[in-house]
Every structure is written in structure tokens, then in C-alpha cells.
Amino acid sequence: MTFCKRLAITAGEPAGIGPDLIIQIAQNSHSDELIAICDPELLYARARQLDLPIVIEKFNVEDDPSPTQARTIKVLPVQLSRTTTPGELDSENAKYVLETLTLAANGCMNGQFDAMVTAPVHKGIINDAGIAFSGHTEFLEELTGTKKVVMMLATEGLKVALVTTHIPLSQVATAITQPLLHDVIEVLQYDLAHTFGIENPRIIVAGLNPHAGESGHMGREEIDTIEPVLEELRSKGYQLQGPLPADTLFTSKYLDQCDTVLAMYHDQGLPVLKYKGFGNAVNITLGMPIIRTSVDHGTALDLAGTGKADTGSLTLAIHYAGEMSRNKSKSFHEQ
């Protein structure tokens, strides 16, 4: 198992804080090799605006991975369609953004990279360019041919995975089916064991309704959908607790006894996690044949080029990508 992992970092929306964050994190050394996938001229320009020193080296896949030295970054170059100004979106650069993601994902699939880390993109400007784009996760799911991906956010002391993600609340109950819940828990169980290195992971499952349905008086989804799946998977050895009321499970009584929480929908689980660790949390896509982590924030166009962007989330995303890569390598060699 190689200690030093090669991590691809996509710079995201060029008018946003992604390039700033790469320049800022490159001021420090890293035990893994960081490869920025972006236009090197964009990084030079942003470094000048931030008044930070940087040495850019062209990435050579034939070289052995080596730790990143302070004030140095290796780059797999992709040329911008049009020179960008911090804070000013330009739909001409939409294809550039998607090319960086494609190179990173393909590089992970062919073994060129051990994991990919994504800075924020701007969904609106990509769609304005006439390209249907609902987000990183869906784009990478299609690109990698993955059957089912699961979105997880993690911060110190708390991991929250989601059964449903970016759909209207009015559609959540119908979307949660036994097959979907079964697939999500299987993905979660596998990745907790193989990419997080958690032996016999303990998962707390939230109910959908207030008070987890109150024995059917406040909804039957727990009885008809959730509980049968949990019982089936418990019979296979999965450590599943629930369904529990979401308003009480996020307490030490339960969280101290679990490795992750599975929430039924986006705004059931993520407000708690972001209250606990916004800016120091990481977005992780589970279920793919590659490892992908991301920041927990948006493009912050108003902060681009100002030097005020917080690197906490990107630093954590890089840390998780490296550790997950090592756990995955260890799991592979132990099989």
C-alpha cells in the first residue's frame, strides 16, 4: 500500500473561489501529491491578486507520487475558453469546467489518480450555456456508470448520509421505496467498511414522519417501507438502529453509539450537520468505483480574488480523500 496518494483537485467555477482555495492550500506542504486540474494561467493570475507565491509544475503521470511541497502545485492543464474575472460568471467557460471533471474522473478510473477532490461549480451558468447539469454527483454518476450513488456529509464527530437528495419535499415520501432504501443502505454499509475502514459499521436510520410515525398515527412509511428493509438487512448482520425520530436522534445518547446517521431527505439531516461544522465539513459521494470528496460550500463569487476565502472545507476534503484512498488500498490487499 502506497502511503503517498495522488489526488486530483478540480478548480471548479473559474470566477469563484476555487482557484483561490488551491493557491491558498498550496502555501503549505501536504503528505499526498496534489494535482490541480485547471488552466495554469488562471492560477498565476489569482496568485498575483492574492499576493501569494506559487510555483506551478506540469503534471507528469510517469513520475512517482511525491508529497506536495509548500508554495508548489502540480497542474494538469486545461485551457479556459475565455479569460475570467473574479466574481463575473461567463457561460463560455462551462465546457472548461466539465472537461476538468471528466479528466479527473477518467484519471481515477484508469488508475492515474487515487481520488478526486472538487471545488465548487456554478450549476446555473452551466445550464445557461445550454448544458443540462444538475450537479457534480449526478454528472459523475453518469460518467462512471454507477448504479446508485449516496450523498454523505461529514464533519468532526458526525456523518450524515441521505436517502433522497435534491427533490421537492412534496415528492420525498413517494420517492422512498423499499428497493431504494435497500440499495442506499448497502452502498453505505460497503463504503463505511471499505473506504472508511470501519469494521461492522453502526448506522442509525431516521424515520420519515414526526415521532417516526407514532406507530402509524402520523404516517405509515416507517411501518410499510422502512422497518421491513431494516429487518431484512439486520438478518444479514447489518447493525441498524431505527427508524428513530429525527428530532431526538441527533443527541449524544444515540450519536455516541453509531458511526453514521441515515436521513430520509436533504433538510432532515444536513441542517444539523452544517450547524455543527459548516466550513469544516466535507461532501462525499459513496457508491462510485472512484473516491470523490468535495467542499461543503458554493462558489462565493463575492469573495473571489479577495483573499478572504476559508480553506477549512477544502483542507478537510483533501484529508478525507487521502485517508479513504489508503483504507481502500488496505481493504483491497486484505481481500
Binding site feature residues for a divalent metal cation = 166, 211, 266
User: Please, what is the end-to-end C-alpha distance for the chain in angstroms?
Assistant: 13
Instruction: List all residues 6 or more positions away from 130 whose beta carbon is below 8 Å from its beta carbon.
Output: none
- C-alpha cell, 97: 469546467
Q: How far apart are CA 103 and CA 122, in angstroms?
A: 18
Contact, 94 vs 84, CB < 8 A?
A: no
Task: Say if CB 181 and CB 312 are below 8 A apart.
Answer: no
Cβ burial of 174 (10 Å; 0-12, 13-18, 19+) is exposed
Q: How many CB atoms lie within 10 A of CB 280?
A: 14
Binding-site residues from annotation for substrate:
136-137, 274, 283, 292
Output the CA angle 152-119-65, nearest 5 degrees.
95
| Annotated binding-site positions | 136-137, 166, 211, 266, 274, 283, 292
